[in-house]
Chains A and B, each alone.
Chain A
Amino acid sequence: MAVEPWQTAEIPGPKKALVITKPEVVVAMMKRAQRPVLIVGHKAVEIELGNKKVVDYMIELAEKAKIPIVATAHMINEFLKRNYKPAGFMPAVDIGNRLTDPEWNGLDGKGPYDMALFVGLPYYMEWTILSGLKHFAQNLKTITLDNVYHPNASWSFPNISIKDWIENLKVIIEKIEGGA
């Protein structure tokens, strides 16, 4: 499918996300980031990827890449059920808002994040939060790990099938080994 927003009418502005053509690009960018953070929305527990859910892949990714997770909505509960304690949890609009503040020193107080990865928010919610960050958090790079094109991210996969999504996540997790 051509690079189009997943929801047809959510057309982008002049500045559009660069398309991630292969998962290695994500790995390279994560490795380049000094202070990445991974934001996981509630749909990560609703979407099945084979015999696992998106959240299971995210735990694996966070552990291997050694990056902090912020769980939004009630996702904290889902992480805890899987014996994983995220670095933080807060509403999606709160983490979005904090990321626009250049003086916010992150969950650990060690300094601003320079990269935010998003997955599993409702499409239109992620779309608008990424828009807020595109316009008002210009030192922050954003990547979406969803299987739909998010024009307001810095980088996004195009709309891809579940099968390709699984493959991509597997490659990212495999190649990120050793920390981002």
Chain B
Amino acid sequence: MSRKNVHLKVDEFKGNIGLIKNLEISIGKIIEEKWEEPMGPTPFPSLTTLRDWDFKLLQRFKPFYLPFCDVCCLCTFGKCDLTGNKRGACGLNMSAQQSRIVLLACCIGAATHIGHARHLVEHLIEEFGRRHPVDVGGVNVEVEAPVTRLVCGIKPETLGDLEAALDYCENQLTHLLSITHTGQEGSNLDFESKVFHAGMIDQVGMEIADLAQISAYGFPKANPEAPLVELGFGAIDIQKPVILCIGHNVPPAIGIVDYLTENGLQGEVEVCGLCCTAHDITRYNPKAKIVGPISWQLRFVRSGVPDVVIVDEQCIRTDILIEAQKVKAPFIATSEKNCQGLEDRTHDSPDKIVEDLVTGKVPGVLILDPEKAGEVAVRVAIEVMPRRGKFKVIPNVENVIEEAKRCRQCDKCRRACPNDLPIPEAMKAAVEGNLEKLNELYDACIGCARCEHACPENIPVHNFIVKAAEKKMKAETFKVRAGRGPIQDVEIRNVGGPIVLGEIPGVVAFVGCANYPKGGKEIAEMVMEFAKRRFIVVTSGCAAMSAGMYKNEEGKTPYEIYSGDFDAGGILNVGSCVSNPHIAGAAIKIASIFAKRKLRANYEEIADYVLNRVGAVGVAWGAMSQKAASIASGFWRLGVPVIVGPHGIKYRRMLLGRADKQEDWYVYDARTGEKVYVGPTPEHLFYAAETKEEAMVMIAKLCMRPNDTTKGRAIKLTHYIDLHKRLYGIMPEDIHLFVRTIADVPVTMKDEIIKILEKKDWKETVIPDPTLLPRLIRKKKE
């Protein structure tokens, strides 16, 4: 597809009709059709185009609402008390209000990615031109934009083409947000359908952002052997000037790397990052380093290591300017979305800005030009480093012990801590000179510093924890594979069959933020467990970093132990938050490339395929943000279940199947049109697990799909039963729901399972060609 804007400009024209000055005519779009696949049924779907599909999902996976607030305060009728599903002044009840808030969260999330994509695409078009080709893997990736092709029915070939998809996303997003206004939608299920829609367009927005940056910046293009990059606090060379980049939108960080290169300063300055910008700098320059997930922000800044803090957008602590000031680190904001109250110096000369920052005349500046921001950051870091002397605010041990004496044991810190960490006990031990308990808190601390704000004595609790764990923190040196981007078409051809037949037991994607209940180590443990079991393990975002923060006895990290191939036993980091659609894209490409289902604007059929055949599960163990909510909802509509950690319950509603309701688990056999019971496969669509152990058992269970062959089902059951026995100490009690024929039963457990089946009055059933869509039924042959 090619989208061209015809633009005619006439400065001055004198003719018989008179004088025309400054005439400009724009003719919208000319579509040049180059894609041979015929248009599918649902190009650029509207709010209700896929409503029937959504309702099919919602019939099976019903919402369980867990209100986080009993009132509504969104209009001046309110506050309205909705307790017990009462209706407010506008007529909305509690169920609909909860789904409305979920929609609001997903609109925020989708807007963030789509806005990010728009800024990025505009910038890259300016820099590289509208005709710069979209190329994310050369001949290895012919299906370059599976989500965009599926949703929009277009095949973007150039950066300019990407704008059509963004126009659509922005249009839909405006409508979606309008639905949360008072007096619009009244049905909770229609709100939920719109949540799915928000998630779907979010996937398009993210895909556009990553396609653009991979194509323009030359990030790894579907490369399983993307370089291993350094990760961890201890990986940062503090002998050098250090520039810390935080956020998600990479152009300013690219500006830094380019300035260093152009001026022969590579190796002179340490460039490191936190959160997704870190992923994306290392995709550009593997010598850049990743400090860690979002929760490392405070500990790293307060340690005094960064000489300059430069931020772009999203997930940045909003008090980071204050924190940078505490350690006398000059601060640069670079995004219109995050100006931090700073003076806009975009049009000033770099010399003047550098001087003002180095002398401390201003604590920070706003520079809305990524190249200029890059130059200023580098020059300031080099000049300011000797002056700062890595000034830090982390106290010494004596200070910790002395200041801990002010602790009143009032418990306010603990009651403010998201993870209920026993801070008062640790403070008591610190008074006695024992910092071990403070050190122990470090692993589960998410770095929010709510403890400090709650403390009536203003004790800098977080600093104490960081000091007590200093040795451990400085020893954090790991590796993570730089984000590889998409999955190659040939990889899909190789594993499509084993996945759909069930012989590769599943694809598990560890994604999302770092709001972990018991630290990031749990992610690494889960990743290792499933890679060892020869699932395909995919990672992205902060979870991809946590997955790397583990070492085996030989000192090797998961990314060094396992390959980066999209194959059984691989651990592959696709990249930053906006790389998540490569995971959805892999599922879509299995349907399209392996199974040869029509891809173009054919959402419902592909989602039906994925739900019934592709054993993929998303795990967002530390999901925190609204973006995580919209990312998850994009997977739900596509038929991929998502598990969140316990904090994820605060998303206010789960989408839970009921294994005990047999009537919910029928599909059509596309061969005959008969309805066939297939068991709860997958049992849930959105689900918060209480512990890592529960999540692991559920991951294995949610990978089962109606289409599994007997061999595949036996393999999947083996993993489910094995994990269940190990972690729960007992055989699962629902095995009979997953056995369709005796051939499904794992050979090694046959006797034991057959006894269970007999007790449960189990009956054999057939393995259908499963679909939820009556239109896909082929007529029974006479």
Contacts and interface: CB of A to CB of B under 8 A. Distances in A.
B81 interface: yes
B728 interface: yes
8 contacts: A6-B420, A8-B416, A13-B67, A74-B728, A77-B729, A98-B660, A122-B517, A135-B65
A41 interface: yes
A72 B652 CA distance: 19
Contacts of A81: 729
- Closest 6 pairs between A and B when the two form their complex, measured CB to CB: A13-B70, A77-B729, A74-B693, A73-B690, A128-B66, A73-B691
A134 B415 contact: no
A25 interface: no
Contacts of B656: 93-94, 97
A162 to B, nearest CB: 11
B646 A135 contact: no
Interface string A97-131: 11011001000000000000000011111001101
Contact of B691 (A15, A74, A98): A74
Contacts of A91: 687, 689-690, 694, 698
A150 interface: no
A78 B649 CA distance: 24
Interface in A110-168: 121-125, 128-129, 131-132, 134-136, 138
A132 B654 CA distance: 11
A124 B649 contact: yes
Contacts of B69: 13
Nearest to A100: B64
B68 A123 contact: no
A7 interface: yes
Contact of A73 (B67, B70, B83, B693): B693
Interface in B505-541: 517
Contacts of B65: 132, 135-136
A125 B95 CA distance: 19
B182 interface: no
Contacts of A138: 84
A94 B733 CA distance: 15
B593 interface: no
A15 B86 CA distance: 12
A124 to B, nearest CB: 7
Interface in B434-478: 454
Given A93-B687, A97-B656, A74 B727 contact: yes
A73 B694 contact: yes
Contacts of A179: none
Interface centre among B69, B83, B95, B691 (most CB of A within 10 A): B691
Contacts of A42: 690-691
Contacts of A30: none
Nearest to A76: B728
B415 A93 contact: no
Contacts of A101: 658
Nearest to A6: B415
B174 interface: no
Contact of B729 (A41, A72, A76, A136): A76
A80 B688 CA distance: 24
A96 B689 contact: no
A101 to B, nearest CB: 8
Nearest to A41: B690
A81 B420 CA distance: 27
A72 B649 contact: no
A18 B665 CA distance: 41
B287 interface: no
A91 B687 CA distance: 9
Interface string B714-731: 000000000000011110
Interface centre among A73, A77, A93 (most CB of B within 10 A): A93
Contacts of B687: 91, 93
A135 B454 contact: no
B83 A134 contact: yes
Given A8-B415, A13-B81, A92-B690, A131 B66 contact: yes
Contacts of A98: 658, 660
B94 A89 contact: no
Contacts of A7: 415-416, 420
A98 B694 CA distance: 18
Contacts of A93: 64, 649, 654, 656, 687-688
A155 B647 CA distance: 24
B412 interface: yes
A62 B300 CA distance: 49
Contacts of A72: 690, 694
B423 to A, nearest CB: 13
Interface string B659-693: 01000000000000000000000000001111101
Contact of A128 (B85, B649, B698): B649
A73 B690 CA distance: 6
A135 B660 CA distance: 23
B71 interface: yes
A9 B412 CA distance: 11
Contact of B94 (A80, A122, A135): A135
Nearest to B95: A136
A86 to B, nearest CB: 10
Nearest to B734: A90
A134 B69 CA distance: 12
A15 B83 contact: yes
Contacts of B733: 89
A125 to B, nearest CB: 5
A103 B691 CA distance: 29
Nearest to A78: B729
Interface string B90-133: 00001100000000000000000000000000000000000000
